[in-house]
Amino acid sequence: MLPSMAQLANLLDTPDVTLTTIEAHLDALASEQRVVECRALSKSQLAKLWEVSAPAPRLGLEDFVPVAAPDDQPVRFCGKNSLPAFTHFEKHFVRRAGAVVGINVGSTSFATGPGYFTCEVMSERPNEVLFDYTRVPPSGPPGWPAPRSNRSGISFFVYRDMHDYNRRVSKDVVIGAATRLGTPIGQYYVLARAAS
The distance in angstroms from the start CA to the end CA of the chain is 30
Parse the chain into domains and list their residue ranges: 4-193
**pLDDT of 6:** 56
Q: pLDDT tens digits, residue range 113-163? A: 899 999 999 999 999 999 999 999 999 999 999 999 999 888 988 999 999
Tell me: pLDDT of 1 over 50.
Answer: no
3 has a pLDDT exceeding 80: no
- Give bridge partners of residue 103 from the DSSP assignment: 92
Confidence of residue 2 (pLDDT cuts 50, 70, 90): very low
Give 152's DSSP letter.
S
Q: How does pLDDT run across 27-68, given as a tens digit for each residue? A: 999 999 999 999 999 999 999 999 999 999 999 999 999 999
> Beta-strand (E) ranges in the chain?
75-81, 88-96, 99-105, 117-122, 125-132, 163-170, 173-180, 183-193
Rounded CA-CA distance 140/145 in Å is 7
**Residue 112 predicted with pLDDT over 90:** no
d(CA 14, CA 45): 10
d(C-alpha 99, C-alpha 28), whole Å:
31
Confidence class for position 166, pLDDT limits 50, 70, 90:
very high
Task: Please state the rounded mean pLDDT for residues 7-34.
Answer: 95
Residue 93, Cβ density class (10 Å: 0-12 exposed, 13-18 middle, ≥19 buried)? buried
Give counts: helices (H), strands (E), the chain.
Answer: 6, 8
pLDDT at 22 over 90: yes
Say how far apart CA 173 and CA 56 lie, in whole Å. Answer: 12
Burial call 68-82: b when 16+ CB within 10 Å, e when fewer: ebeeeeebbbbbbbb
